[in-house]
């Protein structure tokens, strides 16, 4: 985790959030529970809750779920929960998320060249 | 998604990453596959891959998984994949992730007051 | 886990599978890794792989995925993997799956009376 | 799904449960929601709830979670929910679960020969 000022070319800056979560856990003496193994399970729980919002929804309705008053707050809350645990997990693992996504996007650009990938979802499915 | 310059008090800034993912999808004509419903399933797949790294690991070993040469690159890659789909999902749902986590942390501070929560993991488990 | 003969009114009989998995683990000295916590993570990994098969598929195409030659074997394999870990997990937790699902179906019948639930998926979403 | 009497050499018999779930869905006109894609998401939600039970628990405590009065009923309920959706999913996909697990165990016996696998959890992690 860098403490330096954010670089405007960074893809993502999670510095303040990571610090807020560290303080939140330390204030409550919760760091003892935050092993990466435990946090991956907590992340799984939150992705499960996100999935429950969408499970019986058509794809078309899912496009509107962020604005639909019946689901908007739940969607926002569950996206937040997933993000909180993901950033906390990266912190305790000492992984720089900006570096990780920057590398990954470069790798994906080589793995899925535009010419071969145009509109072909099946490219996604094979590793 | 705001296009404005990052506010230094923001907890997280995903603007550049969201734009990079939008371009990546548009270039490949993949936006057609990126319904929220589909992206939640893709997120589930990546969390599953993250879980596989840690499934037989002790909690103690999981603390070192981000630096252990046997797992460091896999950990980084899977954290990146989860983050990519999460940010893409927030984009297509038109949810502002910084606002979402800011609200959520405030709610968590009220839900788990320091005095009542000190070292008590069970507070986590009950909704 | 009962060793008695299967009762024809049982909803499910996992006795032979549970025994086969116990032998498989014991033969390889793998029982040491099979804590419930670890097995839940392994189950998560397999559900993630199942999800990857369906993530870019329309609902209509998903109806045919068990017969479609492009996906049939993967579908079968991943369903099997989920089931293997689920039955193994129940064994190490000493939970009788037949009793658990019998109770659960009775509870669901009371929670979702036919008259109030007809064609209403939203009943599912609220706990 | 076979309607024939259970073969005593079957590893698993889900016939009665599959029929009960079919009736449950038909009675409520819920089959319309039970596409495989939707059911995989519902399965994900239940695995998330199972994961939440174990997320802050040590491996040692997880061994007792099926008998511990604080968690026993939740464990039973969530195992049941996962199994219900899994069996329902196999039904709508027209996959024979007994055949699937029988094949899979044979494949695993060849993939992980006893001599090479003794006590080595890392064999699990590499595909």
Integer angstrom CA distances of residue B119 from A24, A91, B122: 12, 20, 9
Q: How far is CA B53 from CA A74, A113, B78, in A?
A: 29, 28, 9
Instruction: Return the residue matching tokens 């969530």.
Output: D78
Q: Show Cβ contacts of residue B12 under 8 Å, excluding neighbours closer than 6 positions.
A: A12, A13, A14, A16, A17, A83, A87, B97, B98, B101
- Please tell me the distance from the alpha carbon of residue C87 to that of residue C96, in angstroms, as a whole number: 10
Beta-carbon count within 10 A of C72 CB? 16
pLDDT at B1 over 60: no
Percent of the residues in chain A that have a pLDDT greater than 70, as a whole number? 91
Contacts of residue B45, Cβ cutoff 8 Å, sequence gap at least 6: C48, C49, C51, C52, C55
Asked whether residue A2 carries a pLDDT value surpassing 50, the answer given is no
Strand, helix or coil for residue B118: coil
| Distance of residue A17 Cα from the nearest chain C Cα, in angstroms | 27
d(CA B72, CA B65): 6
Inspect the interface and report whether the beta carbons of C37 and D54 lie closer than 8 Å. Answer: yes
ipTM above 0.95, yes or no: no
Average pLDDT over all residues of chain D: 92
- Write down the residue that tokens 């860098």 correspond to: A2
Q: How many Cα atoms occupy the beta-carbon half-sphere of D107 within 13 Å?
A: 14
Question: In whole angstroms, what is the distance from residue D11 CA to residue B100 CA?
Answer: 48
Q: What is the dihedral of CA C1, C7, C12, C13, to 10 degrees?
A: 50
**Average pLDDT for chain A:** 92
Distances (CA, A) of B100 to A17, A49, A90: 12, 16, 19
**Span B103-117, average pLDDT:** 94
The size of chain B, in residues, is 127
Q: Which two tokens stand for residue D33?
A: 């929601």
Ranges under pLDDT 50 in chain C: 1-4, 123-127
- Mean pLDDT to the nearest integer, A99-122: 91
Q: What string of H, E and C letters represents the secondary structure of chain A?
A: CCCCCCCCCCCCECHHHHHHHHHHHHHCCCHHHCCHHHHHHHHHHHHHHHHHHHCCCCHHHHCCCCCCCCCHHHHHHHHHHHHHHHHHHHHHHCCCHHHHHHHHHHHHHHHCCHHHHCCCCHHHHCC
Residue given tokens 């992705």 in the structure block: A47
Which residues are paired to C13 by β-bridges? Answer: D13
| A6 vs C63, residue with greater confidence | C63
* Residue D74 CA, distance from chain mean position: 16
Nearest by CB: B41 against C33, C41, C55 = C55
Alpha carbon distance C73, C79 (integer Å): 10
Q: Are D37 and C24 an interchain contact pair (Cβ–Cβ within 8 Å)?
A: no
Q: Pick the residue from chain B with its C-alpha nearest to D42.
A: B41
pLDDT in tens, B14-54: 999 999 999 999 999 999 999 999 999 999 999 999 999 99
Q: D100: which chain C residues are within 8 Å (Cβ-Cβ)?
A: 76-77, 79-80, 83
What pLDDT does residue A8 have? 82
What is d(CA A102, CA A123) in angstroms, rounded to the nearest whole number? 21
- What was the pLDDT predicted at B126? 46
Is the distance from CB of D95 to CB of C78 less than 8 angstroms? no
Number of neighbouring beta carbons within 10 Å of residue D110: 7
CB contact (8 A) between residue D86 and residue C86: yes
> Tens digits of per-residue pLDDT, B75-90?
999 999 999 999 999 9
Q: Residue B74 — very low, low, confident or very high, per pLDDT cuts 50/70/90?
A: very high
Q: How long, in residues, is chain A?
A: 127
Three-class secondary structure assignment of chain C? CCCCCCCCCCCCECHHHHHHHHHHHHHCCCHHHCCHHHHHHHHHHHHHHHHHHHCCCCHHHHCCCCCCCCCHHHHHHHHHHHHHHHHHHHHHHCCCHHHHHHHHHHHHHHHCCHHHHCCCCHHHHCC
* pLDDT for A127 beyond 60: no
Q: Is C44 on the interface with B (CB under 8 A)?
A: yes
pLDDT tens by residue, A23-51: 999 999 999 999 999 999 999 999 999 99
What pLDDT is recorded for position B6?
66
pLDDT digits (tens, 9 = 90+) for D88-120: 999 999 999 999 999 999 999 999 999 888 888
- Which of C53, C56, C125 has the CB atom closest to A56's CB atom? C125
B103-127 mean pLDDT: 81
Encode pLDDT of B56-68 as tens digits.
Answer: 999 999 999 999 9
Distance CA D112, CA C24 (A): 10
pLDDT of residue B2: 43
- Nearest residue on chain A to D39, judged by CA atoms? A55
User: What are D6-32's pLDDT values in tens digits?
Assistant: 688 899 999 999 999 999 999 999 999
Between B107 and B8, residue with greater pLDDT: B107
Q: Which of B11, B29, B118 sits opposite A17 (nearest CB)?
A: B11
Contacts of D48 in chain A (CB under 8 A): 44-49, 51-52
Q: What is the pLDDT of residue A5?
A: 56
Q: What is the pTM of this model?
A: 0.94
């Amino acid at each position: 985790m860098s403490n330096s000022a954010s670089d405007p070319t960074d893809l993502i800056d999670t510095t303040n959030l990571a610090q807020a979560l560290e303080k939140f856990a330390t204030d409550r003496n919760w760091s003892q529970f935050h092993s990466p193994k435990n946090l991956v399970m907590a992340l799984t729980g939150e992705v499960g809750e996100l999935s429950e919002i969408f499970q019986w929804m058509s794809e078309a309705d899912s496009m509107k779920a962020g604005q639909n008053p019946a689901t908007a707050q739940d969607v926002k809350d569950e996206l937040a929960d997933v993000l909180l645990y993901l950033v906390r997990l990266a912190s305790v693992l000492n992984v720089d998320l900006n570096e990780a996504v920057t590398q990954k996007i470069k790798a994906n650009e080589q793995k899925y060249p535009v010419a071969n990938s145009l509109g072909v979802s099946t490219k996604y499915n094979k590793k």
